[in-house]
Structure 1
Amino acid sequence: MKRNILSILGLVLLLNLSTLNVNCAEIVYPKSNNVTIDSPRTFFIGSVNPDNKLTINGEPVEIHPSGGFWHTVNLSVGENIFKIDNGKESKTYTITRNNSNSNPNKTQLTEKKYNKPITIVTNENNIPLRSTPVDFGINRLQHLQKGILFRAIGEYGDFYKVQLARDDYAWITKSSMKELQNIDLKPVKIDSFTYEETPDKRIFKLKLSQKTPYVLYDNNGLDLTVYNVDSCPFNKYEIHINPIVKLFGFNSYYKSDNELVIEVNNAPVIDKNCPLKDIKITLDAGHGGSEYGAISPLGNKEKDINLAIAKKLQTKLQEAGAIVYMTRDDDSEVSLSDRVKKSNDNNSQIFLSIHNNALPDSLADRKATGTETYYFYPQSRELAKTLLNTITTDLELKNNGAKQQSFAVIRNTNSLAVLLELGYIINPEDNAKLMDECFQDKAAESIKHGLENYLNGIQ
């Protein structure tokens, strides 16, 4: 009898605990109940039993039918206390906002001009040459290899100011450079300029007396400017490479100490009845492994949704005749450089990175939803726009525009490259769609449709 009573009591306790878990609000952001956030606002993202009511400091929280919620709160400088209450129990969060304007040690940077130029050299590969002394954004003029000499005429913060030609200047990070003593930088000489063509690309080779800075710019074709060149106007050698039909990716590098190589990919010949046939496409499912990406109100990890859509798309593209490479096909962690390398090593013609979006705390008051695409080089703008317009029309999603941005995976690839943010995973409505397998399949079909639309329009 005693054993039966104990069993019944245990069952009642288990049921009560189960009920408590159902009623309890699960908060996925902020990530702990005591955090510091340097922003005038933030949000609480999480889930609750949709039949329950929820308040945060007495304000009602809008709950999606799925149970997900996203609630914005303002932060005062100092300690902010938030009480989350579902009517049966409550949780308390403490969020501290620092005064970002009260740093007495902050010094105003000014540009320093050298009395005499110094010679510096790149000490590693993939060094960005920038138009402004800011280590962020689309101010990258070119990525350069190790061993390229510059004339530095000044500095600003962590950057050298370099003189490229008589009237041309740029910026490069000090940490990526080595100062050379007692070396006077002299103009280089052009020994020869040659051209060859293969079935896949055109190759331009410029033999120089030594490595020198250059910029290759996508401008309805390619504008090549080689700097510090002897016997050229303003010490720069300039040519324009016309596209054949349309630019479809390019690459530039020094093959040896003195040979600059420019490779320009030919646009594929498209079969209008089967536009994806034999097109090489690399699909990049964003994040993976310990890199979760954004977390949804319902606790879904962005990395898993990205991969699910990418695998469905892989199948559809292969059925349509495309040659598909995956940067990952399981829950593995892949570096940004390895994602790029996979695409470049396979001579992909299109690189598509699949993601789902989130927002920083500072934009927490925006109820963001919908789709956007990103490109870095202008050659990929039309692909980004076509994909975006097709997807938002097919799936009836908000069109947030095709935008230029300096993401590593679309900046360092040698092909057309686009990063897709299909939806805002932190938005409960978008979250409910993105976790639905039927929607994922429709999304994959729509992405395929967008690729077909683009390819059919290039000739």
Structure 2
Amino acid sequence: MPVNVAKAPLPAPNPKLPPIPEARGPLNIKVQYPGAGDLVNSKDSNFIHGQVGNGDAGLSINGVPSPVWPNGAFIGWLPVPQAVASTDSLGRQIMLGVYELVAVVGMDTARLTHTVRLPIPAATPPVVVQPATVVPVSQPTYAAVGATKGPAPLKGTQSAKCYGAFTTCLLATPILSDTDRVVVGRPTPTGTYKWFLVPGTTVQVTGTQGEFAQVQLDNGQIIWIAKSDLNLEAAASTPTRVTIGAPSIASGGDWIDLNIPVSATPAFLVEETERGFNLTLYSATPGANTPSPLVTRDAYVRGVQRGGNADRIVFGISLSAAPFGYLTLYQNGLFTLRLRRPPAIDPSSPLRGLTIAVDPGHPPIGATGPTGLWEPQATLPVGFKLRDMLVERGANVVMTRTAHEDVDLAVRPTVARRNNAHAFVSIHLNALPDGANPYRAQGTNTYWFYQHSSTLAQHVQRQLVNEMGLADKGIHFGNFAVIRGTWMPSVLAEGAFIMMPDQEAAMRTAEYQAQYARGIVLGLEDYFRSLAQQK
């Protein structure tokens, strides 16, 4: 008996997207996400996408009509299936949910039963008063922070008990002059990255919580560092207090160095202001002959003031323009804050002579669309088109990858820095976590990490929206590894949603790939032209 499944209406077509090719093949239902046996981590509703082989098909999923695009792709938004208790092959309890998909074209019908896992409901625990979650140490302990070939957990400690206290060192291997290796500190164990310490810095550990150690930089500053980044064996037996010598300014042409002689590797924080930086050195004491203010005759660095208190020294650096980039360096008893000058720009040809780092996002990993388009397969041709457009405008281009091989996330910004790039742009396609409605959340957004990158993000976002025609989801702070480089403005663009059938189909076309690339180029031009106007 024929099954009647009405064809659900599609969203209004987007004139900026190229036409979707039509599929008229036999019905064949394939679910791309969630995969069979995948855990769907949503309490009420979730998306499911894939393809049915024929764009004329009507599709129902658990009785809910779901739109099918002309190429046979679909994405449904519907309640999570009812959970059914079961056991796995090892006899462990699991919860299963079943999607029943029915596709119909004329007299032809296809069915698919698709089973996924659902979260096991957590038992409601009794209400109890929890003790303090930070386990204090009983006496001062110090350790070094840094990197070794393998993990180096805190020895002799537990998160439930902690006897004795320790000074620790941020795990130290030989410090190379051309490394971007840092040790990350956070304001809370789950907080965003804020401190980026040099390997070998000695810090005081005051407590532990799970995989993190509570570290005191001075009497007024507590941060959290992963235990695996601490090395007790390299620790000092007494607190390390840094004495600074007389700072000096040195010009390197494209940059200006604030050089500070120090008695030991300092824990520090660099914070950007609208027209400058604040550099804080913790547990630091000024030595003799450390003048304030520091005299400078550089047109970019207007002045350097020294302040602080008994526990720390703060250098306030005033600039004649907004910060463009910086590096922190430490070698042979000299701590350097290297300030990068904004490049000289010709407003009529703002990219000429600049070096732009182009980062086609992924692999490893990456999102996949309903018909199987994998994110790295789409971002690479966008990267090539962006490269060609930049070269046409007189820019030099550094590509972080030119083939479908894995490139480590940490390597990508390092490649840009070593090539002295003036901007870094990472190209991505978005997808959503379980429980988010793709019909509402889709659009274009751009991410930045450091404040000096936010203006570039604004320009790129505006031009991407103009070129790609999708909803403007704005710019956002994003704690992504590839945009945490400090030497240049760095942004990560999520131009389109690969999980949406019309946008996935568009990203298969050279036409829309070029629109994505053009949006980035125009945003870069606007940004660097704005720098010329500041002078």
Q: Same fold (TM over 0.5)?
A: yes
**Structure 1 residue matching 2:518: 3-state secondary structure:** helix
Larger mean CA deviation between 179-188 and 226-235 belongs to 179-188
CA deviation vs aligned residue, 1:407-446 (integer Å, no higher than 9, x gap): 0000135211000000001011222322221122222222
Deviation (angstroms), 1:103: 8.7
Rounded Cα–Cα distance in structure 2 between residues aligned with 1:275 and 1:259: 36
Aligned to 2:103: 86
Rounded Cα–Cα distance in structure 1 between residues aligned with 2:240 and 2:99: 65
Q: 5+ residue gaps in structure 2?
A: 1-22, 84-94, 148-180, 287-307
1:101–1:260 distance in 2 versus 1, CA, 3 Å: farther
Q: 1:47 aligns with which of 39, 51, 56?
A: 51
CA deviation vs aligned residue, 1:1-51 (integer Å, no higher than 9, x gap): xxxxxxxxxxxxxxxxxx9973112221122x2333332243211122111
Write out aligned runs for 1:104-253 (5 A): 110-124=133-147, 125-134=181-190, 139-179=192-232, 183-220=237-274, 221-230=276-285, 233-253=309-329
Q: 5+ residue gaps in structure 1?
A: 1-18
Deviation (angstroms), 1:332: 1.9
Write out aligned runs for 1:238-387 (5 A): 238-256=314-332, 258-288=333-363, 291=364, 293-364=366-437, 367-387=440-460
Aligned 8 A contact 1:369 1:424 in 2: yes
Rounded Cα–Cα distance in structure 2 between residues aligned with 1:292 and 1:79: 26
1:270–1:182 distance in 2 versus 1, CA, 3 Å: closer
Deviation (angstroms), 1:115: 2.6
1:102–1:243 distance in 2 versus 1, CA, 3 Å: farther
**Structure 1 residue matching 2:199: 3-state secondary structure:** coil
Q: Give the alignment's TM-score, normalised by structure 2.
A: 0.77
Deviation (angstroms), 1:292: 5.0
Aligned to 1:102: 123
Larger mean CA deviation between 113-122 and 447-456 belongs to 113-122
Aligned 8 A contact 2:47 2:435 in 1: no
Rounded Cα–Cα distance in structure 1 between residues aligned with 2:320 and 2:420: 18
Rounded Cα–Cα distance in structure 2 between residues aligned with 1:123 and 1:387: 35
Equivalent AA in structure 2 for residue 67 of structure 1 = G
Rounded Cα–Cα distance in structure 2 between residues aligned with 1:182 and 1:222: 31
Aligned to 1:9: none
Q: 1:415 aligns with which of 478, 481, 488?
A: 488
Larger mean CA deviation between 303-312 and 139-148 belongs to 139-148
Matched, 1:24 2:97: no
Rounded Cα–Cα distance in structure 1 between residues aligned with 2:509 and 2:397: 24
Rounded Cα–Cα distance in structure 1 between residues aligned with 2:310 and 2:207: 20
Deviation (angstroms), 1:365: 5.8
Rounded Cα–Cα distance in structure 1 between residues aligned with 2:438 and 2:462: 26
CA deviation vs aligned residue, 1:359-412 (integer Å, no higher than 9, x gap): 111324654322100000010001101110122123322110100011000013
**Structure 2 residue matching 1:248: 3-state secondary structure:** coil
* RMSD over equivalenced CA pairs, Å: 2.3
Bigger share in helix: 1
Larger mean CA deviation between 349-358 and 294-303 belongs to 294-303
Q: Give the alignment's TM-score, normalised by structure 1.
A: 0.89
The alignment of Structure 1 onto Structure 2 pairs a total of residues equal to 434
Equivalent AA in structure 1 for residue 98 of structure 2 = I
1:233–1:320 distance in 2 versus 1, CA, 3 Å: same
Equivalent AA in structure 2 for residue 437 of structure 1 = A
**Structure 1 residue matching 2:373: 3-state secondary structure:** coil
Deviation (angstroms), 1:250: 1.0
Q: Which stretches of structure 1, 4 residues or more, deviate above 4 A after TM superposition? A: 103-109
Rounded Cα–Cα distance in structure 1 between residues aligned with 2:391 and 2:132: 54
Aligned to 1:64: 69
